[in-house]
């Protein structure tokens, strides 16, 4: 297998682990141009190459008006081009859920450039740092069970590594990205690794490399996105429960909620059916990188796989607080600004912007945004089949922002995003 370089991007509200890869297999030249569906003469030109939403029943009003639908398509295509290379990003799957209205499900582009397959609701995506929302929810349940406290110092738990100053770093500071710890994926030891799709590396090893570096600032002094925090949180969960983080997420969350397509994988293989993820190769063409990152590398920081329908249910559940106690939910939603001159905030594994709450995840081939607006009971999902973060705040977030501008003009997320990535 090919080796690939690994680089971390500290990404606005939420995490994106960006990896430049040499793909396992590249799509043929003929598959690299996005296909355009043949459309009837009466179909508006703006819908060419776009999968329509399922028709609403006679008794159910569509979530979006025809002009809104056309505006969403136009804005989405613009961002796919903006974040693309010689060709637009291969595709995006969008879902909007509004109370009393038919779900709006719209895809632009292809789920598989080789076979020309369209997106389908059962398609799996790698959700990257959206994994952190499951990790935090398990922690909050453990707090509700009085098995730990967010205010506990991490030195209380024997995670197999002695974290310097661990008696002054709390679980809460890890979850809020305010620990000051060094990024595990930026250490020289990590970047010297020869990465293989089926490689195995322990979270303890990655944590050990990170905590051997000088901290960036004293605990609690400021915000800095750092995946080391969630590697440690994963280990704390395992120590407290005497179980694996993957099994705890399954037993406590995905199985009880019926999120049957959502998994914490043990292998590199994507379960079928799945949307293929792409990255730009050396020649500037889109190449398949769906199965290049071993789950042991991202682990509790970003290994999970899910679908659009599952994530729509999940984001509403954890933002609404149906997964844990009211007291723990208040802790989760207590968001502080991530930088000066912005109201965008970060709480316990959750981001906030203009009334929306949720998270964004990024891994090679995938950029997944899942948000919920409690004041209007609206859920918005945008799953993109390429991880593209520049220009800031990235492809999935820019598509979500543009859609929010259309459907909730008084609640436009990321409108005051910093011009550079905050750290």
Q: What are phi and psi of 145, to 5 degrees?
A: -90, 5
56-97 residue pLDDT tens: 554 589 999 999 999 999 999 999 999 998 999 999 999 999
Hey, what long-range contacts does 264-267 have (CB within 8 A, 24 or more apart)? 264/131, 264/134, 264/295, 264/303, 264/304, 265/295, 265/303, 265/304, 265/305, 266/295, 267/198, 267/295
What is the largest distance, in Å, between two alpha-carbon atoms of the chain?
A: 69
Model pTM? 0.89
What local confidence, expressed as pLDDT, does residue 39 receive?
Answer: 28
* Whole-number Cα distances in Å, 79 to 35, 83, 206: 17, 6, 35
Three-state secondary structure string covering 372-409? EECCCCEEEEEEECECCCCCCCCHHHHHHHHHHHHHCC
Domains contained in the chain, CATH given: 5-28+62-407 (3.40.710.10)
CA separation for the pair 101, 294 (Å, rounded): 40
- Measured CA to CA, the distance from residue 108 to residue 123 in angstroms comes to 14
Backbone angles phi, psi at 337, to 5 degrees: -55, 145
Helix axes of 295-302 and 228-241: crossing angle, nearest 10 degrees:
80
Strand partners for 286? 280
What is the token pair recorded at 28? 């043929």
pLDDT of 342 reads 85
Cis before residue 47, ω within 30 degrees of 0?
no
pLDDT of residue 47: 36
Buried b or exposed e, range 39-63, using 16+ CB within 10 angstroms? eeeeeeeebebbbebeeeeeeeebb
Those residues with Cβ within 8 angstroms of residue 194's Cβ, 6 or more apart along the chain or in another chain:
3
Helical (H) or strand (E) element with 351: strand 351-353
Residues with Cβ within 8 Å of 313's Cβ and at least 6 positions away in sequence, in order, are 257, 259
Query: What parts of the chain have a pLDDT lower than 70?
Result: 1-59, 419-423
385, 366 Cβ separation under 8 angstroms: yes
Helices 228-241 and 131-144: crossing angle in degrees, nearest 10, is 40
d(CA 421, CA 423): 7
């Amino acid at each position: 297998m090919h080796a690939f370089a690994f680089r971390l991007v500290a990404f606005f509200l939420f995490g994106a682990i960006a990896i430049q890869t040499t793909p396992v297999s590249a799509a043929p030249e003929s598959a690299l141009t996005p296909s355009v569906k043949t459309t009837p003469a009466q179909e508006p030109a703006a819908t060419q190459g776009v999968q329509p939403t399922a028709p609403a029943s006679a008794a159910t009003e569509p979530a979006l008006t025809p002009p809104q639908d056309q505006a969403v398509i136009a804005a989405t295509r613009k961002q796919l081009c903006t974040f693309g290379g010689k060709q637009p990003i291969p595709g995006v799957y969008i879902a909007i859920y509004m109370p009393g209205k038919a779900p709006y499900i719209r895809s632009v582009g292809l789920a598989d450039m080789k076979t020309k397959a369209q997106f389908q609701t059962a398609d799996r995506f790698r959700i990257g740092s959206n994994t952190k929302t499951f990790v935090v929810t398990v922690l909050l349940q453990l707090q509700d069970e009085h098995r730990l406290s967010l205010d506990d110092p991490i030195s209380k738990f024997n995670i197999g590594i002695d974290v310097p100053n661990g008696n002054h770093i709390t679980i809460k500071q890890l979850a809020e990205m305010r620990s000051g710890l060094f990024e595990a994926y930026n250490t020289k030891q990590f970047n010297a690794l020869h990465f293989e799709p089926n490689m195995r590396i322990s979270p303890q090893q990655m944590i050990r490399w990170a905590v051997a570096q000088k901290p960036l600032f004293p605990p609690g002094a400021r915000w800095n996105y750092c995946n080391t925090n969630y590697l440690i949180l994963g280990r704390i969960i395992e120590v407290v429960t005497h179980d694996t983080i993957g099994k705890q997420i399954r037993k406590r969350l995905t199985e009880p909620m019926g999120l049957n397509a959502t998994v914490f994988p043990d292998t590199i293989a994507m379960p079928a059916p799945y949307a293929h993820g792409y990255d730009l190769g050396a020649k500037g063409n889109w190449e398949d990188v769906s199965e290049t990152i071993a789950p042991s590398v991202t682990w509790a920081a970003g290994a999970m796989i899910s679908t659009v329908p599952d994530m729509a249910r999940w984001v509403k559940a954890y933002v609404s607080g149906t997964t844990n106690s009211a007291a723990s939910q208040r802790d989760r939603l207590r968001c502080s600004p991530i930088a000066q001159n912005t109201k965008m905030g970060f709480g316990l594994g959750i981001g906030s912007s203009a009334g929306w709450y949720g998270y964004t995840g990024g891994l090679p081939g995938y950029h997944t945004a899942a948000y919920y607006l409690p004041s209007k009971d609206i859920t918005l999902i945008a799953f993109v089949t390429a991880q593209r973060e520049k220009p800031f705040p990235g492809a999935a977030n820019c598509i979500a922002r543009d859609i929010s501008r259309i459907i909730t003009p008084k609640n436009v997320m990321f409108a005051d995003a910093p011009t550079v990535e905050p750290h």
